Structure 1
Amino acid sequence: MGLLSELKVSVPWGHIAAKVWGSPQGPPVLCLHGWLDNANSFDRLLPLLPPSFHYVAMDFGGHGLSSHHHPGFPYQPQNYVNEVRRVAAALKWNRFSLLGHSFGGTIGGMFSCIFPELVDKLILLDSSPFFLESKEIKNLPTYKRQSIEHVLLVEAKDKPPKVLSPEEMLQSFLKNNTQVGEECGKLLLERGTTRVAQGLVLNRDRRLSQPENHFEVLSKDQFEYICKKIQARILVVKADQGYSYFRPIKDDEIRESMDYILQFLKSTLKERFQYMEVVGNHYVHMREPQHVAGVISDFLQSNP
């Protein structure tokens, strides 16, 4: 299955860019990339999935080839849920599946609760559909403050994008993405940079700072209530060497929280919930896509 086309969806602040794969007549699947990644995140996985489906891999706003959001405001999780809804509306999709990696899976989880009637299946690649951390409550005002102050700092500096040689750009990228690997790093930078006379500049919006400044953290009561709204079937694919992308929280706290989320999803969704652990790190869907392609294909093709 090869790439069919590039796509641009018009929005009030510019456009949302996307890549299209598979059969235009097939059941639609919207692919959501991780924090600071882009639609190229799925280039090595989608060719291994059933070609009878219609896959659209979008760039979130401020990422890849999508327009940056209006100046003056920080990015918020609901901005991205809004983008998913706009893409689905533009494509005239009444019901579709979501395939999300990391941050993209969390946005997919939020969307599945807010628009439950639209989502058929939700596939989470080394991701959590929610962040449930009671111990993080004390940090939330700090995160929200940092998000606003970072925007003000970026505006005050008003510097042009930093220009690096291709090798400097790659090494800088790998330093901040230790699990992605050189080959996959190059693939993400193909869509995540623009070539200028002196070298490469990053495409992404400089207002995008630490992910913890942009995640919504739910209480147990909130989580349990909105989970009951989900109509989709859910597949969670966990990498055995994956890492926590919500970095301030300690590993034991993450495991405790994730175990609670998975157990509640299992008990609430029953036969609509499936869990699989695979060998690989956080970017297993890029580095060893064959480790996840089979279970994803089976899940997409399965009937209730």
Structure 2
Amino acid sequence: MRTLRQAEARCHTDLFSELKLSVPWGHIAAKAWGSLQGPPVLCLHGWLDNANSFDRLIPLLPQTFYYVAMDFGGHGLSSHHHPGFPYHQQDYVNEVLRVAAALKWKRFSLLGHSFGGTVGSMFSYIFPEMVDKLILLDSSPFFLDAPEMNNLLVYRRRRIEHVLQVEAKQQKPRNVVSPEDMLQSFLKNNFKVGEECGKLLLERGTTKVAEGVMLNRDRRLGLTENHIELVSKNQLEYFCMKMQARVLHIKATEGYVSYGRENQDEIRDSLQFVQRVLKSTLKERYQYVEVTGNHYVHMQEPQRVAGIISDFLESNRVVQAHL
């Protein structure tokens, strides 16, 4: 796999480069900031987001590092996966390895928001020798099967049925709407993002056509729970034992756990169990910090997390909460 194109552009006031990495089903698109000679950091966006998720955060981090924010397959400017199959969490782990191979990285750090943090965690215990540091932005590194057991077969069935439904609709053209209508529709389904950050994500998440704009993302991408891998408590403990990375876990006070879910208490209990296992297993290699903000605090108020992340990247000392 080789880099086919690298063109410089300007994002707000900071220079970045666009990357296009060849894969068997097309390409993986990415953006890069910082020093090419610096320690590498791969940034993984959340479900249905894209690499623009990090546009406001990375310029506030030490530019002595080399940051690459990739678009997962089916998201942003990356190619869609081969037809006929659903997307799965491990598919994205595969993509992380392919990006690392293309960039000739043997060891690097991972910065993941939401679902990106879950993917980064999975990579960290499958390829532990490759990950130096893991930074989780309002993300759970694992999802326990216990609170979701009643839904497990529902998720598996829906994943298969959804692909077939999408294939049946492939003859229909994609919806083309005005930029304003697209933004309002996006905000309706992502009310925590906010208008300004919504526009930023749609810059990379849509394509302009003569009549307006249309979404880039693959129609097979549905609810996150159709694609995550649920683990048992025993698996969780075993996987944690395999992780070699230092882990910084940043939780937003009004993050995704506080969203209006029916099983909110079960989700909170599950996450607290995950945190206890991480702490007891990784010990001083695990650092947990809470910051004021919602699920998209890294975009809306990046200064709240930038100092914490910078300290973690640059030193081995325990970081302090910046509330």
Report the TM-score when normalising by structure 1. Answer: 0.98
Equivalent of 1:267 in 273, 276, 280:
280
- The equivalent of 2:52 in structure 1 is 40
Residue aligned with 1:149, SS: helix
Equivalent of 1:110 in 122, 143, 151:
122
Unmatched 5+ stretches in structure 1: none
* 1:284 paired to 2:297: yes
Q: Which amino acid aligns with 1:26?
A: G
Residue aligned with 1:285, SS: helix
Distance in 2 (CA, whole Å) between partners of 1:249 and 1:79 is: 29
- The equivalent of 1:91 in structure 2 is 103
Residue aligned with 1:188, SS: helix
Distance in 2 (CA, whole Å) between partners of 1:20 and 1:242 is: 27
Equivalent of 2:88 in 76, 79, 84:
76
Equivalent of 1:30 in 42, 47, 67:
42
Alignment RMSD (CA, Å): 1.3
Q: How does 1:221-232 map to 2 (within 5 A)?
A: 221-232=234-245
- The equivalent of 2:173 in structure 1 is 160
Distance in 1 (CA, whole Å) between partners of 2:258 and 2:42 is: 22
- The equivalent of 2:10 in structure 1 is none
Q: Is the 8 A contact 2:147 2:267 kept in 1?
A: no
3-12 vs 225-234, greater mean Cα deviation: 3-12
Q: Is the 8 A contact 2:258 2:264 kept in 1?
A: no
130-139 vs 258-267, greater mean Cα deviation: 130-139
Q: Which amino acid aligns with 2:74?
A: G
Residue aligned with 1:228, SS: helix
Distance 1:31 1:106, change over 3 A: same
Q: Is the 8 A contact 1:211 1:246 kept in 2?
A: no
> Identity, % of aligned pairs?
73
Residue aligned with 1:36, SS: coil
249-258 vs 161-170, greater mean Cα deviation: 249-258
Q: Is the 8 A contact 1:2 1:22 kept in 2?
A: no
Residue aligned with 2:242, SS: coil
Distance in 2 (CA, whole Å) between partners of 1:10 and 1:72 is: 21
Unmatched 5+ stretches in structure 2: 1-12, 318-323
176-185 vs 248-257, greater mean Cα deviation: 248-257
Distance in 2 (CA, whole Å) between partners of 1:15 and 1:131 is: 29
Q: Which amino acid aligns with 1:221?
A: N
| Structure 1 runs of 4+ with >2 Å offset | 1-4, 244-249
Any idea what the Cα deviations from partners look like across 1:22-51, whole Å, max 9, x if unmatched? Answer: 000000000000000000000000000000
